[in-house]
């Protein structure tokens, strides 16, 4: 059944946000699912692209926000709706961001593991105040390894490390104890290890590095672990570079013939200068 376009003043304002007069389709029941689990109160039937909150006035943003708030969680896990929520975290008022963060409360883990929800969590972490960031990440405590090994959740953990004060992330470091080798050789875990080395405090990265040094030869030959070692050689402390080079030095011939280890052998000569013994 066809749905008539709105001709009300509010409809015109909504049209100005989308640049189109046929995207906002109204019925007597706002936020009714139409195809792809989307909502006619938002007006999207196929694409998230046209919503232009960055160009809207505060009043226009509030008009749209009033319609989406009650259905915020459903939108967060929707193939198109997640873009609307992301837009509000980026361009909404502080009050709107806090209201959406409140809707996330209690659902951080489920959203982090969901294909579209993980994008919302990442965007929220970029734009909400530190207190709300800390509250959000605390919901992942006890579930770190599950998230790190998940194709969606690992991106959320990486974003936590990039955006949240490291003092609030000690639970992530604690979860990695005794797991550094296994995670460094994991397709998602190796990325999180690299983010820790980039953003966390020295006292947090030290135990990670100590575990890495115990497995240098194995890691340089691993399809994922070699990226972690390469990261240390490029960005690590001189003493950590020296330890890696010392481990590699005695196995140059063998490792240089290994396709994953070869870049580290080359980098040894490009990036690390070890004084000759006298």
Q: Mean pLDDT over residues 121-149, rounded? A: 99
Residue scoring higher pLDDT (96 or 48): 96
pLDDT band at residue 22, thresholds of 50, 70 and 90? Answer: very low
What local confidence, expressed as pLDDT, does residue 44 receive? 47
Percentage of the chain beyond pLDDT 70 is: 71
Measure Cα distances from 149 to 7, 112, 153, 189, 246 in Å. 49, 12, 7, 6, 31
Residue 236 pLDDT > 70: yes
What does the pLDDT look like over 145-196, one tens digit per residue? 999 999 999 999 999 999 999 999 999 999 999 999 999 999 999 999 999 9
**Lowest mean pLDDT, pick from 31-35, 146-150, 189-193, 274-278:** 31-35
- Digit-coded pLDDT (tens) for 79-115: 999 999 999 999 999 999 999 999 999 999 999 999 9
0.75 surpassed by pTM: yes
Here the tokens at position 96 are 């709107």
> According to the per-residue pLDDT averaged within each range, which of 3-12, 120-129, 229-238, 244-253 is highest?
120-129
Distance of alpha carbon 162 from alpha carbon 240, whole angstroms = 22
Partners of 33 in beta bridges? 39
pLDDT of 53 reads: 84
Answer yes or no: are the C-beta atoms of 96 and 61 closer than 8 Å: yes
Closest CA to 248 of 219, 211, 277: 219
pLDDT tens by residue, 238-259: 999 999 888 877 665 445 544 4
Q: Which of 15-29, 37-51, 63-77, 131-145 has the lowest mean pLDDT?
A: 15-29
* pLDDT averaged over every residue in the chain: 81
CA-atom Rg of the chain in angstroms: 24
pLDDT tier at 263, thresholds 50, 70, 90: low
């Amino acid at each position: 059944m066809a749905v008539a376009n709105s001709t009300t003043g509010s409809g015109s304002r909504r049209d100005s946000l989308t640049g189109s007069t046929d995207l906002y389709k109204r019925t007597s029941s706002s936020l009714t699912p139409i195809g792809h689990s989307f909502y006619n109160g938002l007006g999207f039937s196929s694409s998230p692209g046209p919503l232009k909150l960055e160009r809207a006035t505060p009043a226009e943003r509030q008009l749209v926000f009033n319609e989406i708030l009650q259905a915020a969680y459903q939108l967060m896990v929707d193939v198109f709706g997640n873009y609307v929520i992301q837009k509000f975290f980026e361009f909404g008022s502080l009050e709107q961001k806090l209201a959406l963060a409140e809707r996330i409360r209690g659902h951080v883990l489920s959203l982090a593991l969901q294909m579209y929800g993980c994008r919302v969590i990442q965007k929220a972490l970029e734009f909400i105040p530190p207190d709300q960031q800390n509250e959000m990440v605390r919901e992942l405590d006890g579930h770190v390894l599950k998230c790190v090994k998940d194709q969606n959740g690992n991106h959320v953990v990486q974003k936590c490390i990039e955006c949240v004060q490291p003092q609030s992330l000690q639970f992530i470091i604690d979860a990695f104890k005794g797991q550094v080798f296994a995670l460094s050789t994991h397709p998602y875990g190796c990325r999180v290890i690299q983010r820790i080395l980039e953003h966390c405090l020295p006292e947090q990265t030290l135990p990670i590095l100590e575990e890495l040094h115990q497995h240098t030869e194995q890691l340089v030959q691993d399809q994922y672990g070699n990226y972690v070692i390469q990261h240390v050689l490029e960005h690590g402390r001189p003493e950590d570079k020296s330890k890696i080079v010392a481990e590699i030095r005695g196995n140059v011939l063998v490792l240089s013939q290994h396709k994953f280890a070869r870049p580290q052998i080359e980098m040894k000569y490009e990036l690390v200068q070890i004084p000759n013994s006298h």
